[in-house]
Amino acid sequence: MKNKILYLIILTVLIFFVNSARIGAKENFQYQLYTPETYKTELPSSKFDDNSKILFIVDFSNSMNEKLNGRKKIDIALDTLSAILPQINPNIQTALRVYGHRAGFTYLQGCMASKLSVPFSAGNAQNILTSLYKTDAVGWTPITYSLKQAVNSDFVGVKGKKHIILLTDGGENCDESPCIYAIELMKIRDDISIDVIAFDIGDIEANNQLRCTALTTRGKFYSANDSNALKDSFFDSLGIDKNVHGSIKTNF
């Protein structure tokens, strides 16, 4: 009799744990069920909400024509942005500033070759891509001047948090320090962060300056030495899940 009672107790405990495991599994495995009427393609999740403002600053200096693994760096950058931009939530306002797009015959010309190519707007991916592919890499690297223009011009009247993603393959060459500028900027502004993607930069001082620029503004610094690392840097900066998203479609 005692053995039978002990057996029932053990069996009850086992059933309890099995059922608990099943419930836990159901809670951890989440999926969405769609009918043909309600199915739609989902946008990748992002750390930015609909009120976010993202300014891309892209390097079009002459050094972007140098080859990396057999391809021009500018071509790698354009391919990467072509894959990344359409995945940004179209409700988020984005804009594009480029530098080095104009040859500088004098120091002054080269260090002021920076322009806002595409103003802030929602659903701006195609406009940005069109502008990028129409731009030539021919000039210098006025990073600090570009950041100043972004803050003092591009962001005028723009409310809320503002995020800059700077892609560059070199350090500042206009005798200004983006690090010092970022430090001074943070003394008077708390609504701007800068992520820096250093693309194939071997210069230690340049990397240190760019790292300082990012970390001082509570941004992130990425060192990308090939196309895969470049793409991963953009995914991480934008907070987009690079894994494939799937949905279950039914016919009832």
CATH number at residue 218: 3.40.50.410
The whole-chain average pLDDT of the chain stands at 82
Each residue of 22-65: pLDDT tens digit? 334 333 323 233 233 332 333 344 567 778 899 999 999 999 99
Please check the confidence at residue 75 and state whether its pLDDT lies above 50. yes
| Residue 158 contacts residue 121 (beta carbons within 8 Å) | no
Please check the confidence at residue 18 and state whether its pLDDT lies above 90. no
Report yes or no on 244 lying in a domain: no
The pairing of beta strand 71-72 with beta strand 67-68: antiparallel
Report yes or no on 250 lying in a domain: no
Which of 218, 245, 238 shows the shortest CA–CA distance to 46? Answer: 238
Say which residue, 54 or 252, is predicted with more confidence.
Answer: 54
SS3 assignment for 67-82: EECCEEHHHHHHHHHH
Domain interval for residue 10: 2-41
Do 150 and 82 belong to one domain?
Answer: yes
Do 100 and 134 belong to one domain?
Answer: yes
Q: Rounded to the nearest 10 degrees, how much is the dihedral formed by the CA atoms of 231, 236, 239, 243?
A: 60
What whole-number distance in Å separates Cα of residue 234 and Cα of residue 75?
16
Please check the confidence at residue 247 and state whether its pLDDT lies above 70. no
Please check the confidence at residue 67 and state whether its pLDDT lies above 70. yes
Output the pLDDT for position 47.
66
Output the pLDDT for position 150.
98
> Exposed e or buried b for every residue in 194-220, given b needs 16+ CB within 10 A?
bbbbbbbbeeeebbebbbbbbebbebb
Do 156 and 116 belong to one domain?
Answer: yes
Please check the confidence at residue 217 and state whether its pLDDT lies above 60. yes
Each residue of 146-190: pLDDT tens digit? 999 999 999 999 998 999 999 999 999 998 999 999 999 999 999
Output the pLDDT for position 236.
97
The pairing of beta strand 53-59 with beta strand 93-99: parallel
What whole-number distance in Å separates Cα of residue 11 and Cα of residue 123?
60
Do 23 and 133 belong to one domain?
Answer: no
Please check the confidence at residue 1 and state whether its pLDDT lies above 60. no
Mean pLDDT to the nearest integer, 220-226:
98
Total number of domains in the chain: 2
Do 174 and 212 belong to one domain?
Answer: yes
Do 20 and 125 belong to one domain?
Answer: no
What is the value of pTM for the model shown? 0.78
Output the pLDDT for position 22.
37
Output the pLDDT for position 201.
97
| Residue 248 contacts residue 31 (beta carbons within 8 Å) | yes
Do 25 and 112 belong to one domain?
Answer: no
Do 178 and 155 belong to one domain?
Answer: yes
What whole-number distance in Å separates Cα of residue 60 and Cα of residue 210?
17
Strands annotated E in the chain: 33-34, 53-59, 67-68, 71-72, 93-99, 114-122, 162-168, 192-199, 221-224, 248-249
Each residue of 99-150: pLDDT tens digit? 999 987 788 889 999 999 999 999 999 999 999 999 999 999 999 999 999 9
Q: How many CB atoms within 10 Å of residue 238?
A: 24
The pair phi, psi for residue 194, each rounded to 5°, is: -130, 120
Please check the confidence at residue 224 and state whether its pLDDT lies above 60. yes
Output the pLDDT for position 108.
84
What whole-number distance in Å separates Cα of residue 188 and Cα of residue 55?
20
Do 10 and 74 belong to one domain?
Answer: no
